[in-house]
Chains A and B, each alone.
Chain A
């Protein structure tokens, strides 16, 4: 049975069709929420909220966007809402990022090919994990959808209900922020060991 048929049946109250949709999407939704929220309990809450909202609103789903986009939008919004409620202080990123205007005057440590820079490097992974947690929700959500979930710019803009231009701007800042964190780490390392 196609997804569209499943959705039609679920709309008419077919519980087994709905259960199939839940089976198809629950793990992806759980992981999406986990990536945005970085906390398992919160991710489970969002997972439940998302599907309860699907039950409630399925009859209004008109198929103009794909079911995937629709459910992702619900889950992303629920995650962001939760993040906002926690009132965590995030690192503010400057509105007008001119940070690498100074690029030409800087001495660069090129760490992009450092062989120790792998997912096995616990120190670096913890640093990135922490940096992701510091990114405020508007940047984090774009980064997770686009760079981790690897959705297109168009899909990301639909899910977050922002323009494609905005997706690009936020994505760029998020990427630069994370890169800068790694760069700080390397700069410290270099100054510590006193070699350059």
Chain B
């Protein structure tokens, strides 16, 4: 358990350091445009990563840097993309909110709320016809539960018994509005259940719980080919986008979120298990060293190539 938690802490710190560095690069003007960070939500991607294998398809949202990293996309081309460099995963075409790396089974972020869900259903459908036992997973926020496409996708997957994991990251906020004020029934899992999809709400700040649950569901989905729905309770420790002053949140709420966030919790659990503070701190330092190196290399790379700007619109 201790080894696993150390590994999880390492993986979470890689994401956290990447996001904090990104925030700094926004501040310095190197990253331009709107950026959505997953600071506080790292346990989801880290816990879920083990369930995916080559050939699986993962769809995420604009808040998807952590999922790309967890899927194995190297940090340098991710920074390159955010920085608008030719070396970016999409050569600067995608940007922070719409990047993809299909070589890693990362089929892409999406800046249209809910839009990834039907696409994931299609990825699973393709798997039924191409002989693979492809698992498709789609990550979305709890606010997206009120989007029509999400309901259509869930029912479609259920009707066809397709292996799709619907992963709902519940950080409570739809941008600047509390999602619980936008529903009458606060139980989001009631909706997939009503469609015949097994659904569960779990502690999304604990990578071990996430791992266990997603592995179970993934295995079941691959075996009998039905979709599943996992709600991860979590929180974002930062604004909806970089620059969001968060006037809509109270100090108490943020303080409570900082107590619940996965890195602080993992560090506390390790300390309790007798791991020396220096060892825990070394994890953070190592992640930062890797991130700084990747960012420096990306910054040194040449800007996106303007001569290619009109390529790839058509076959």
A associates with B: no
Q: Which residues does B use to contact A, with CB under 8 Å?
A: none
